[in-house]
Amino acid sequence: MKSVAWMMDVVKEVGAAQCGALSFDALRPLMSERAQARAAALCPQPAGVLVGAFPYFNGHRVGNVSLYARGLDYHLGVSRRLQRACQQLKEQVPSHTFVSAVDASPLPERAAALLSGIGKLGNHGLVICEPYGSYVFLGAILTSYPIFYKAKPVERCVGCQNCVRACPSGALSLKDGQVFFDGSRCLSHITQTKREPTEEERAQLCEHPYIWGCDLCQLACPENHKAAISPLTDLTGQEKAAPYMSQLTPEMLEGLEEASFQEKFGNRAFAWRGLQILKRNFEIQLHKRPRMDGY
């Protein structure tokens, strides 16, 4: 019988800075019946979860694209790495199922990371994982292999509230000593939404330094001030397929239709919502009323 420690080492070998493990039963109370059914459809008799933190930080450089979106789309990069890990695990334990999960999965990945003990929860709602701060992508492997690790107490940041003060939209707020997050007010969300922005949101976008995403709460976090540079060259934009890109301009989108936009930028995280969202954001920042054709 293979040790769980060996399995975590496999996840680290494909790029995870930290890897944790816990029983699938530890996550059940946090999952809806529908999510549990989806998990069982992916992995019959789910019994364990391996969760890894994949760093993406490549330094602070001026740009209008969020730090996480300057290299290869993490859905592609992290998925490929986890699929390699699944293949290695399957070769050694062929009688069990191993399925990778990144973002669009039934697993509560953030909760899995925290309960497995690989990082602590920041007031900005992100997982802080040494030595990369909160500049990590989370990915998981759902398996039928029995893992009996129990959930660990969730560790939290020191609570300096720098992130609350840095948030210009009020997405982070402090009440009775606790920080609350309103995702609908988050500027990262607003830069990605397909609905017509409200007048308040339009005014916020006009002042926002990003055309896609937002890093303001992370930049204010002291846990990130000495974040290490990630060695994962695909996620940091050090590979030819998706070279580092910190700045988008209207001219880079000029003359593109959706198909040509996807051909040019489809392996970037900022492309998933499509061309028109980025054009709309540029038009708002240029103080023009955006056309919402096709919305």
Measured at the alpha carbon of residue 280, what is the angle toward residues 275 and 283, in degrees to the nearest 5? 130
Tell me the two tokens of residue 90. 């399957």
Top pLDDT among 184 and 286 is at: 184
Is residue 278 pLDDT above 60, yes or no? yes
pLDDT cut 90: percent of the chain above it: 93
Question: What does the pLDDT average to over 156-176?
Answer: 93
Confidence at residue 159, expressed as pLDDT on a 0 to 100 scale = 86
Q: Structure pTM?
A: 0.94
- The band of 263, judged by pLDDT with boundaries at 50, 70 and 90, is very high
Which entry of 25, 73, 103, 215 is annotated as an active-site residue? 103
Confidence at residue 175, expressed as pLDDT on a 0 to 100 scale = 87
The tens digit of pLDDT for each residue in 1-16 reads 678 999 999 999 999 9
Cβ–Cβ < 8 Å for 271, 213: no
Buried b / exposed e over 83-121, threshold 16 CB at 10 Å, is bbbbebbeeebeebbbbbbbeebbbbbbbbbbbbbbbbb
- The band of 288, judged by pLDDT with boundaries at 50, 70 and 90, is low
> Which residues make beta-bridge pairs with 180?
173
Question: What does the pLDDT average to over 279-285?
Answer: 96
Confidence at residue 1, expressed as pLDDT on a 0 to 100 scale = 65
Confidence at residue 134, expressed as pLDDT on a 0 to 100 scale = 98
Is residue 208 pLDDT above 50, yes or no? yes
Concerning whether 103 is annotated as a catalytic residue, the answer is yes
Mean pLDDT of the chain: 95
Residues 6+ apart with CB under 8 A from 148: 23
Question: What does the pLDDT average to over 54-60?
Answer: 97
Distance CA 84, CA 52 (A): 13
Per DSSP (E only), the strands in the chain are: 18-23, 48-55, 98-101, 120-121, 127-128, 136-143, 172-175, 178-181
Helices H / strands E in the chain, number of each: 11, 8
The tens digit of pLDDT for each residue in 226-256 reads 999 999 999 999 999 999 999 999 999 999 9
φ, ψ (nearest 5 deg) of residue 181: -115, 125
